[in-house]
Chain A
Amino acid sequence: MTLISLQNVSKSYAGVPALRAVNLTIEAGEIHALVGENGAGKSTLIKVLAGVVAPDTAEIMIDGQPAAIDSPATAYRLGLRFIHQEFNVVPALSVAENIFMGRRYPLRAGVLVDWQRLNRTAGEALSLLGITHIDPRRKMAGLSLGDQMLVRISSAFLGADGAVARLYVMDEPTAVLTRQESERLFRVLREIGSTGGSVLYVSHRLDEVMTLCDKATVLRDGKTIDTGKIAEITHDDLVALMIGRRVEEAYPRAAAAPLAEVALEVMGLRAEGLKPLSMSIRKGEILGVAGLPGSGQRELLRALFGALPLQGGTMRLGDRPYLSRSPTSAWASGLAYVPRERRSEGLALSRPIFENMTLAHLKRLSLGGAFLTPRKERRFATAMGENVRLRSAGPGQLCLELSGGNQQKVVFAKALGGNPDVLLLDEPTRGVDVGAKFDIYSIIRGMTAKGMAVILVSSDLPELIGMCDRIAVMREGAITEVVDAAGLGEDDLLNRCYGRAASVLAAIRA
């Protein structure tokens, strides 16, 4: 029996489609996987289901009846329960209070909170997951990340006030859980399935999907690619469906091979969240950094750039020793950084384009480092804007009026404005439309042809394979291996990110 069916769901953000006529049908008693690459539209689809995002078009049926999910409250009333990827706990409150977040507390005499019943009920929700080591009265702040996640998951299993839970939507629930904790969660999910409840399970961990789920729906570029039974598909086929297109034409070719000279050499670098790591990159080379989210990629770049304090190790930049004390000294030494979150880390959105571009280069673009020379700055911004193919109304336009792709080009212009020797890129094309993506790839190629070295952190595997000379794989804060990108398959790279060599996997299957 069909529990919920979503047909023809479309949603665009500022003209960029995130979902294009997506279909998803979930049967009662089914554990249904939703898989796809980053940016495929999974999160948007979940948000539509949760009543957080209003779709442009959608036909939603629950139990064969048309339904409209216009708010989180409606979603709750319809029996939908969500465990979102982002953590939202209140550290100052107790475990029980977090479990009851957004619900009515049990009362005594109609006004006073019945703390005993509150704690007991919360304890029951926890024990459903076999959790006995967390006291419901403890403060959330004292719990490990894994335990906090377990508490959040338990809150979805709390006895509902009035509305019966029909479908549990779990977005990457196991990201911070141990093996045993995950197994316990899976047992609970299977039990939900066997008693007629449904689960929509979103995960990058395909081995979990293969063992846990009954069916899978694959999204790619905002479209439903296929839906089928897990029993009828292999791991590799699933990866192929997720990745889909061949990559050759999406990336401009390198004009020249990397030079022999080393641009940056790192020996025994240590910082918080990083295990001691060593690597080197040559002039004109693009070194990719792959890995599951949170494997230390961001920390690596920030440590190189002086935004994360070093705990040890030495570095050489060309033939000089290099010490990353602060971003100020990193810029002065010839490094440049394009951070991951352009809105919160890259740009002052309320300031004009030229002020953002020149901020890192004011010393050079002013009179004696002290007095502003706005005309010189505007000339610089206009020239840099042409270099990065920026589409704007002029250097005085405010950054908040630009599209995501053009904002990212402003960040690039700032980074390239000082002709850096080493460019650090963190997810440079995330949330950037296809045309601007190609522009950004071309800019990177143009700079490496002149000898600039690039370290490219990305979760977009085709991008890494298409752009990089070599790819370093990071796992749990360490570089586990560095492989040549030429001839590397995406499924091979994905497996390396999970820490399974392709040969081992083949042996297991055989």
Chain B
Amino acid sequence: MATLLRRYGTLIGFLAILIFFSVNLPDTFMTARNWLNISQQLSMLIVAAAGMTIVMVMGDFDLSVGSMASFAGIVAALLFTLGYPVWLAVALALLVGLAGGAFNGVLVSFIGILPFVATLATLTMFSGLAFVVSGGKTIFGRDIPESFANFAREGIALGDFGGVAIALPNLTIAAAIMVLVVWVLLEQTTFGRRLYAIGGNIEAAHLSGVAVRRLKLIAFSLTGFSASVAGLMYASRVASANPTQGSGLMLNAIAAVFLGMTMSEQSEPRILATLIGVLILGVLDNGLTQMSVDSYVRQVLVGGIIVLAVASSSISKRAR
């Protein structure tokens, strides 16, 4: 019973939240439209949290994902204004994410700075760069090409439901692809196995021939890359780029991974558990908004639920 609760406590909590909202919002909550809406709203967070999971598997984390997301959006928008074709601007923005992540990786693995300090510094750097490059202004309107903005508005048509056309949003598809890629990477490749070994015991991994430094560099690069993907998705969704628009991603991404970690026996980050973590945060937000709970009260409630989940899982672990 205790084992069951430890293992599935978070999942049970998630189900309780779903039931609560279904009862209180019978007409609007459990509908295909609402869920597609939630999935679209969460798609950026899913991508950022998936990237965060990669470094957290090694026991590290990356505070710079939010400012990297903003920076990547600004870079793409700026290149649009300079007349670059959409594909090239997007590719260069993604490259910036990869390079920024690699910079984090070099600081952490080759120079040996604690991830907290290193990524706190790069958080400030990326954010400052976004302001410098954009001149502190939001880039929007005619500067953003239609094809870029349309990506977030469109989707794959699923058909008619009660006379309403329903489509699977492109953003949701992008998030799903990201989750799939990270799942394959972490669960099905030697790369992922080695990351988990580093997280389990870095010294033992090193002595077992795992190239710890190189892998950390790659892992941080991937996290930076996924942050830039999330940033571009955001820019497409709001058809504009602003030097602070990604700043909410970092705390939520870390919170989602932590929520996910409460679901595993050894408190390890798992990508599918992270996905549940994101859903918990997103569903709470969606449901409480629909029940017109004040947004500040919502923050307090969401924070409280994170504390509850993590505390109950660490207490039940200590109890054995």
A→B interface (CB under 8 Å): 305, 307, 326-328, 330-332, 337, 339, 344-351, 355-356, 359-360, 362-363, 366, 369-372, 398, 414
Contacts and interface: CB of A to CB of B under 8 A. Distances in A.
B56 to A, nearest CB: 15
A339 B206 CA distance: 12
A307 B207 contact: yes
Interface stretch (B99-107, B193-201, B238-246, B288-296): B193-201
B266 interface: yes
B209 interface: yes
A351 B196 contact: yes
Contact of B193 (A331, A332, A344, A355): A355
Contact of B268 (A326, A331, A350, A360): A350
Contact of B209 (A331, A346, A351, A355): A331
**Chain A CB within 10 A, most for which of B200, B207, B266:** B207
Contacts of B194: 359, 362
Contact of B204 (A348, A370, A371): A348
The 8 closest A-B pairs by CB, nearest first: A348-B200, A331-B209, A348-B201, A350-B266, A359-B208, A328-B209, A360-B208, A362-B190
A345 B193 contact: no
Contacts of B146: none
A328 to B, nearest CB: 4
Interface in B169-227: 187-194, 196-197, 199-201, 203-211
Contact of B207 (A305, A332, A362): A305
11 contacts: A328-B209, A348-B200, A348-B201, A350-B200, A350-B266, A350-B268, A351-B200, A359-B209, A362-B190, A362-B194, A398-B266
B206 A307 contact: yes
Interface of B is mostly: helix
Nearest to B198: A348
Nearest to B206: A327
Contacts of A372: 187-190, 192-193
B190 A327 contact: no
B205 A348 contact: yes
A361 to B, nearest CB: 9
Contacts of B189: 370-372
Contacts of A356: 204
Contacts of B191: 370
Contacts of B188: 371-372
Contacts of A327: 206-209
Given A351-B197, A355-B197, A369 B207 contact: no
Q: Which of A305, A327, A359 has the most CB of B within 10 A?
A: A359
B190 A366 contact: yes
A443 to B, nearest CB: 19
Contacts of B197: 348, 351, 355, 359
Nearest to A377: B193
A369 B193 CA distance: 12
Contacts of A371: 188-190
Interface in B248-289: 266, 268
Contacts of A348: 196-197, 199-201, 204-205
A346 B200 CA distance: 11
Nearest to B210: A359
Contacts of A305: 207
B190 A339 contact: no
B213 to A, nearest CB: 9
Contacts of B209: 326-328, 330-332, 359-360
Interface in B7-59: none
Nearest to A360: B208
Contacts of A345: 201, 203-204, 207
B207 A328 contact: no
A328 B211 contact: yes
Nearest to B200: A348
A360 B210 CA distance: 7
A363 B211 CA distance: 13
B217 to A, nearest CB: 15
Interface string B81-114: 0000000000000000000000000000000000
A337 B204 CA distance: 11
Nearest to A365: B190
Given A330-B209, A332-B209, A366-B190, A347 B204 contact: yes
A359 B187 CA distance: 15
A349 B207 contact: no
A316 B191 CA distance: 31
B3 to A, nearest CB: 14
B190 A370 contact: yes
A85 B147 CA distance: 70
A302 B20 CA distance: 59
Contacts of B203: 344-345
A436 B71 CA distance: 58
A349 B207 CA distance: 15
A414 B208 contact: yes
Contacts of B208: 327, 331, 359-360, 414
Nearest to A343: B201
A457 to B, nearest CB: 15
A356 B201 CA distance: 10
A88 B272 CA distance: 43
Contacts of A351: 196-197, 200
B250 to A, nearest CB: 27
A357 to B, nearest CB: 10
Nearest to B213: A326
Contacts of A326: 209, 211
Given A327-B206, A330-B209, A398-B266, A349 B200 contact: yes
Contacts of B190: 362-363, 366, 369-372
